[in-house]
């Protein structure tokens, strides 16, 4: 395993110097953030990012994310130019030493939570998804400010993109994903960059928009769309794992044994009785996932890809980007290190 940490660039209150002080830290997971989805990333921006990360003594090998333009997901005729740009970004990132690109194929909304600062019994704050809060949200009324979702959509443009998704079925979304992969995976193979799709978070339809990377049958289908090791997964335990329908130990075991997991997001979630969930500390007993069992199957399958602690709570008075503070993610990293070292030494 190569331990990594997400960093949002020079505006991130968590600095590279903070991150380098976490034991066993290998690489930084970041992106060029000032380019709209679908556009080219300049070689200069990529080189500057690489230089900044490497001068802090860390590796620059993972990008999260190169966003996929909505026209690609919608299968519009205009998609081809965005796909050509995507291919060129893969080539440029490969030349700069990037070996893994995380992306997702969720329509309109990325990860969805209903509250970002829920106070847990221990006084920490966490991101939560409460079904009753979600039912009161309507993205089309304009009242919605979806926590954590910073988008350039106006009310009108959001209504327009919803109308476009109304015209496509889940099968259309699958076909649009298949087409995208058939175009980019040969480029990824040539550039030696492993593509790693992030599952839908949460793994069910939101606001009537389809979601397809949600469960074992669909991940199986996804991997077969283009059956190449370069068409792989970011296995996010907290995303697929926020429903009991997904057995995370089984899924991590199965897909790591197949060599199709390139990037692990390790995070714990507490599933509530009504299907809502709260993000929790990484420690297994704090949530519904057995993190030791997950790390153990990775170890047994000889996993040598990237692992990062995913969202953390806000603890010790820290303020900052929800889910992406320093302290709880550093605790998560140390917990992962402890499990891994134990597995190595005790086999």
Binding positions for Mn ion, rule: CB under 5 A: 236, 265, 310
Minimal distance in Å, beta carbon 64 to Mn ion? 9
DSSP 69-126: PHHHHHT-TTHHHHHHHHHHHHHHHHHTT--EEEE---SS--S--SEEEEEPTTS-EE
- The residue from 165, 230, 306, 324 that is catalytic is 324
Nearest Cα neighbor of 35 from 65, 73, 5 is 65
* Sign of the alpha-carbon torsion through 97, 62, 255, 85: negative
Task: Kindly report the backbone phi and psi dihedral angles of residue 117, in degrees, each rounded to the nearest multiple of 5, phi listed first.
Answer: -135, 40
Nearer to Mn ion, 66 or 83 (CB): 66
Minimal distance in Å, beta carbon 239 to Mn ion? 5
Determine whether 26 is an active site residue: no
Alpha-carbon gap, residue 6 to 8, rounded angstroms = 7
Nearest Cα neighbor of 299 from 341, 260, 236, 251 is 341
Give residue 302's region: left, alpha or beta (phi > 0; psi -120 to 50): left
Nearer to Mn ion, 38 or 203 (CB): 203
Nearer to Mn ion, 71 or 310 (CB): 310
Nearer to Mn ion, 265 or 329 (CB): 265
Determine whether 69 is an active site residue: no
Nearer to Mn ion, 202 or 210 (CB): 202
Alpha-carbon gap, residue 103 to 105, rounded angstroms = 7
Determine whether 198 is an active site residue: yes
Minimal distance in Å, beta carbon 269 to Mn ion? 11
Determine whether 310 is an active site residue: yes
Residue showing the smallest CB distance to Mn ion in the complex: 236
Is residue 298 within 8 Å of 312, Cβ to Cβ?
no
Is residue 249 within 8 Å of 221, Cβ to Cβ?
no
Determine whether 265 is an active site residue: yes
- The residue from 12, 71, 253, 310 that is catalytic is 310
At 197, which helix (H) or strand (E)?
strand 194-197
- The residue from 82, 100, 130, 198 that is catalytic is 198
Burial of 153 (0-12, 13-18, 19+ CB in 10 A): middle
Minimal distance in Å, beta carbon 218 to Mn ion? 17
Determine whether 220 is an active site residue: no
Alpha-carbon gap, residue 24 to 18, rounded angstroms = 13
* Sign of the alpha-carbon torsion through 283, 288, 293, 294: negative
Task: Kindly report the backbone phi and psi dihedral angles of residue 129, in degrees, each rounded to the nearest multiple of 5, phi listed first.
Answer: -130, 105
Minimal distance in Å, beta carbon 9 to Mn ion? 18
Minimal distance in Å, beta carbon 309 to Mn ion? 10
Minimal distance in Å, beta carbon 160 to Mn ion? 29
Nearest Cα neighbor of 31 from 3, 67, 72, 68 is 67
- The residue from 71, 265, 282, 306 that is catalytic is 265
- The residue from 100, 102, 215, 236 that is catalytic is 236
- The residue from 130, 262, 311, 328 that is catalytic is 311
Nearer to Mn ion, 236 or 242 (CB): 236
Nearer to Mn ion, 108 or 187 (CB): 108
Residues designated as active site:
198, 236, 265, 310-311, 324
């Amino acid at each position: 395993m190569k331990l990594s940490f997400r960093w949002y660039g020079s505006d991130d209150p968590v600095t590279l110097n903070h991150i380098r002080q976490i034991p066993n830290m290998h690489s930084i997971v970041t992106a060029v953030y000032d380019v709209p989805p679908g556009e080219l990333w300049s070689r200069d921006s990529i080189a500057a990012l690489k230089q900044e990360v490497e001068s802090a003594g860390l590796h620059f090998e993972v990008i999260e994310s190169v966003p996929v333009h909505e026209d690609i997901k919608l299968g519009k005729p205009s998609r081809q130019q965005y796909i050509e740009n995507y291919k060129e970004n893969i080539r440029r990132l490969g030349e700069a030493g990037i070996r893994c690109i995380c992306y997702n194929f969720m329509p309109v909304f990325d990860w969805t939570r209903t509250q970002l600062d829920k106070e847990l019994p221990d006084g920490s704050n966490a991101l939560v998804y409460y079904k009753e809060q979600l039912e009161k949200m309507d993205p089309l009324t304009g009242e919605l400010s979806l926590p954590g979702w910073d988008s350039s959509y106006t009310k009108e443009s959001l209504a327009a993109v919803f109308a476009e998704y109304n015209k496509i079925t889940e099968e259309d979304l699958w076909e649009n994903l298949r087409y995208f992969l058939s175009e980019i995976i040969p480029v990824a193979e040539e550039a030696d960059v492993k593509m790693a799709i992030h599952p839908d978070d949460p793994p069910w339809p939101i606001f009537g928009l389809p979601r397809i990377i949600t469960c074992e049958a669909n991940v199986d289908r996804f991997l077969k769309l283009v059956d190449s090791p370069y068409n792989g997964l970011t296995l996010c335990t907290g995303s697929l794992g926020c429903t009991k329908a997904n057995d995370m130990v089984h899924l991590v075991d199965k897909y790591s044994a197949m060599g199709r997991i390139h990037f692990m997001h390790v995070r714990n979630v507490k599933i509530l009785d009504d299907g809502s969930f709260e993000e929790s500390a990484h420690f297994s007993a704090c949530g519904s996932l057995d993190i030791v069992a997950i790390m153990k199957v990775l170890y047994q399958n000889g996993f040598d890809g990237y692992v990062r602690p995913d969202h953390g709570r806000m603890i010790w008075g820290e303020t900052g980007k929800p889910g992406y503070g320093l302290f709880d993610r550093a605790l998560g990293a140390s917990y992962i290190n402890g499990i891994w070292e134990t597995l190595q030494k005790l086999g």
